[in-house]
Chains A and B, each alone.
Chain A
């Protein structure tokens, strides 16, 4: 009997300890102040101490950041008690339609956002951010997955995604190990719609063909930099942001959006249903869209700004390479929402390509 009760005590203690871990700690000095709870990635713009301090001072509010490790986790947070506790979140197209459908988000009154008018039109039209003509998410920053090549090694004009299928560069290409990037890039090369490919079999064949030409697949950005710096590869799929950072570090890297188009992504702010600080949340979004914030962040190496005005103060060469203009943005295929079944199918096909 004694053994059993001891076990119960231990389990009880574990429960208590874990319960303490969940409660948020509030310091006594902040009592009475309103608290704006934000869920974002760690070290991703909004949690910069200087940025937080400025907003807190201006509106006499306390900002609390919680961090997510994946979009999926964010969705789970909202479903399991986040509504009413969290004010602002940073979802992307992979979960937005679900979150809107399950009534987890508040409609955003864009007339209250003084900076909304400066956002590139293309971003305002993203279908995942709205439903029934109501806006539920405001674009914040974006980026693309295009081609990057070593400008010392490749002198020809690179403008097509087919360079990844060019036998001339056999053994010098780095494709990305990611089912989404793989399917969408092959679809671009085949002239299919990357977000809704019509013929997965053709894509599979194309990817198997591509596989023979690779030096390797890369997964994390760090892997790519090491391969590039070690001269193991001369061309590959790459993210706009990292290509810019590598160039800043003096690498002979050029980033191109191919003429067939490229994969794009957008991070958006959204306000959680029943937020007690709706007005403050709107003000925070407006602040995040402001020219000053957007300019400061991109100059510090952040992702591309959505604010048109910012481009005027940036280095023209940088703006051109990153494609921060309507013409290039129009060539991007922003990753749209895909159902779990579809993702499973894509992933399985990619596993099969890799196993061959």
Chain B
């Protein structure tokens, strides 16, 4: 028997025991009916697709995640570019500064945003000092905007780091070659740098988009009355009414959305440059 294969068997077994099997248990639950005498049924899935508001929430979740991903690219790309190509020293410090927020709990960060964004809060005070807003309240907290701000803050490091790595790998002489062939900065960026950093953007997008689909802490704490997303629906199913079967069905639908979006994004990555 192959010796190397041996070495990976413990993690593979752990994965099977703690990831694959529980996943199948979840799928099994999602086909069970409620009540004292459960039997296999499709009703959990039918319920979901028959109620308009679940579909509405699903679309809201997907569109929010898309917005978050796009903002992350717009912020993350220039930052990664500066780190990889413009500056020579201080990269480590910037990287550490990006990673440090990872050490804080998600809940603490959500509450911190609440303090920053609330009416009469720090952000309002600063903006007023610079006469950027009048005497009216800021009105950002408990809106969709607040949720998006918090999610971008949480997930953009994934984007920066993956794009940074793909840019860092890039051979600088290619850029020089482009310049020597008389390409302007825009052409160089559009035809050389961007295509070569595409794998980084794609994997960054997966790392941002996928977890954004499942969030429930930020929407609940910062989204106010409009905070409902598919994640909070699943949370309520499990914690409020112990509706494991229906909860598992929604979670499985979410998993399908994740797999489909990963498939689409990976297809982009494979396309001819």
Q: Which residues of A contact B (CB under 8 A)?
A: 2-3, 6-7, 10-11, 14, 70, 72, 177-179, 211, 214-217, 219, 223, 226, 230-232, 340-341, 343-344, 347-348, 350-352, 354-356
Contact = CB atoms under 8 A, between A and B. Distances in A.
A177 B246 CA distance: 20
Given A217-B225, A226-B114, A230-B118, A351 B53 contact: yes
Contacts of B171: none
A60 B220 CA distance: 49
Contacts of B17: 11, 14
13 contacts: A179-B236, A214-B225, A215-B142, A230-B121, A340-B242, A340-B243, A343-B241, A344-B241, A344-B246, A347-B240, A354-B225, A354-B227, A355-B57
Interface residues of B, number: 38
A70 to B, nearest CB: 8
Contact of B241 (A214, A216, A217, A340): A340
A219 B246 CA distance: 22
B225 A348 contact: no
Contacts of B6: 2-3
A72 B1 contact: no
Interface string B201-244: 00000000000000000001100110110001100110011110
A7 B224 contact: no
Contacts of A343: 240-241
B233 A216 contact: no
A11 B17 CA distance: 9
A216 to B, nearest CB: 4
B224 A178 contact: no
Contacts of B115: 230
A352 B53 contact: yes
A77 B6 CA distance: 40
A350 B115 CA distance: 28
A212 B236 CA distance: 22
B221 A340 contact: no
A178 B225 contact: no
Contact of B220 (A72, A177, A215): A177
Contact of B228 (A6, A10, A179, A355): A355
A356 B53 contact: yes
Contacts of A217: 224-225, 227
Interface string B106-121: 0000010011001111
Contacts of B1: 2-3
B185 interface: no
Grouping DSSP codes into helix (H, G, I), strand (E, B) and loop, the A interface class, with mixed when no group exceeds half, is helix
Contacts of A231: 120
B228 A351 contact: yes
B5 A3 contact: yes
B9 interface: yes
Which 8 A-B residue pairs are closest in the complex by CB-CB distance? A216-B224, A355-B53, A354-B228, A343-B241, A216-B142, A352-B53, A347-B241, A214-B225
Given A223-B221, A232-B119, A340-B35, A6 B9 contact: yes
B225 A352 contact: no
B177 interface: no
A3 B233 contact: no
B172 interface: no
Contacts of B131: none
B118 A355 contact: no
Contact of B225 (A11, A14, A211, A340): A211
A245 B120 CA distance: 26
A226 B111 contact: yes
Given A230-B118, A232-B119, A347-B236, A216 B225 contact: yes
B51 interface: yes
B91 interface: no
Listed residue (B51, B53, B54) with the most chain A CB atoms within 10 angstroms of its CB: B53
Nearest to B111: A226
Contacts of B119: 232
Listed residue (B9, B17, B54, B240) with the most chain A CB atoms within 10 angstroms of its CB: B240
Contacts of A355: 53-54, 56-57, 228
Listed residue (B5, B17, B228, B233) with the most chain A CB atoms within 10 angstroms of its CB: B228
B177 to A, nearest CB: 51
A178 B241 CA distance: 11
B168 interface: no
B90 interface: no
Contacts of B120: 230-231
B13 interface: yes
A226 B221 CA distance: 11
Interface string B17-54: 10000000000000000110000000000000001011
Contacts of B35: 340-341
Contact of B224 (A10, A11, A215, A341): A215
Contacts of A351: 53-54, 228, 233, 236
Given A3-B9, A230-B114, 8 more contacts: A10-B10, A178-B240, A179-B236, A230-B115, A230-B121, A232-B141, A343-B240, A351-B233
A65 B175 CA distance: 69
Contacts of A356: 53
A244 B220 CA distance: 26
Contacts of A215: 142, 224
A347 B56 contact: no
B142 A10 contact: no
